[in-house]
Amino acid sequence: MNGEMYQMCLLTAAAKQALFRGAEFEFEPTAYEHKIEFFFLSNIRQCGIFNRTAKNAEQWYRYLAKKGLRDIKFVMPTEVKERQALGFANTSQSSIICYFKNSEVTAFDPRWEFDKKRKMWNILYTERLLLIPFVKPYGEDNSETFREVLIEISDLAERIDCSGFSKIFERALNILDGEESPSSKLPLPKIPEKFLPLFCSADTADVFGAMGSWNDSPPYMAHEKGLDAEYEELSARLLKNIRLAVFYAINEWR
C-alpha cells in the first residue's frame, strides 16, 4: 500500500481507539519516518492570529480531543486516472477528516519530503476547513466483490506470464478467506481483529506503484497478447475494491 495511505490508516485507527474505546492513543511510526508534524488551522483570537503545531502524533490527538473531536475518518478516491503516479510521494489524494462537536469539519492533508542526509521521510499534515456542506461518507463490506476481482486478475496475471503477481493476488485471497493469517511488515493499525483480514488482504493486493509494479511490465505483456482492455478493466476494479476495503476496515467500527 502507498506509504502515505498506510500512515493515515494508522493515525485514524489509533485516534478511533482512543476516542471510542477509551484506549491510550498508540501510534507506532514506521522505520522510514524521521519526523511527523501537524500544522493546525489558524485560530483567530482577540490578540490576533496564531498557528498551532503538534510535534508528534500524540500531541495532534490531544489537541483534537480537547477541541471536541466526535468522529474521524480516512478518505481517499476509489478511482485514479493516472495509476502510474501512485508509486511517487504526495500522489494519494487522501485525507483524514475530523468532525467536531461544534459542527466544524476539517481535513488533514499530508506532505512528504525526503531527507537525503538521513535517508528518511519528514511528514507535515496541514489542516484545512471544509466550508461546503460535507456529507459524512460510509462504507460497506465489499469482501465478495473484492474476492471476485482477485480471482479474475490472478488468472489474467497467469495468462500474461506474470506468475509472480498471480501469487501475490492468490495470497491476498487466502488472507481474505482466512486461509492465511493477516500480517504486514509494517505496524498493523489498531482496528478490531475481525477487520484485519480485509485490511491486510487489501494491503497485500495493492501492487500499484512505479518500477517493478503492476503498472510497469504487465500492461505491455497484456498488450502483446491482445488483452489490453481486460488488463485496464481488471486493474481499475482491483484498485477500487482495494480502497473500498481499506475504507471499510479503517472507518466502519466503534
Per-residue pLDDT of the chain (254 residues; tens, 9 = 90+): 889 999 999 999 999 999 999 999 999 888 899 999 999 985 544 445 556 789 999 999 999 999 999 999 999 999 888 887 787 888 888 999 999 999 999 999 999 999 999 999 999 999 999 987 667 899 999 999 999 999 999 999 999 999 999 999 999 999 999 999 998 889 999 999 999 999 999 999 999 988 889 999 999 999 999 999 999 999 999 999 999 999 999 999 99
C-alpha cell at 252: 466502519
How far apart CA 239 and CA 166 sit, in angstroms, is: 16
Tell me the three-class secondary structure of the chain, residue by residue: CCHHHHHHHHHHHHHHHHHHHCCCCCCCCCCCEEEEEEECCCEEECCEEECCEECCHHHHHHHHHHHCEEEEEEECCCCCCCHHHHHCCCCCCCEEEEEECCCCEEEEEEEEEEECCCCEEEEEEEEEECCCCCCCCCCCCCHHHHHHHHHHHHHHHHHCCCHHHHHHHHHHHHHHCCCCCCCCCCCCCCCCHHHHHHHHHHHHHCCCCCCCCCCCCHHHHHHHCCCHHHHHHHHHHHHHHHHHHHHHHHHCCC
Quote the pLDDT of residue 48: 52
Quote the pLDDT of residue 89: 86
Alpha-carbon 175 to chain mean position: 18
Domain ranges of the chain: 3-129, 143-251
Quote the pLDDT of residue 171: 97
Quote the pLDDT of residue 131: 81
Alpha-carbon 123 to chain mean position: 15
Is the torsion defined by CA of 247, 248, 249, 251 positive or negative? Answer: positive
Quote the pLDDT of residue 88: 82
Q: Which residue type is seen at 83?
A: R
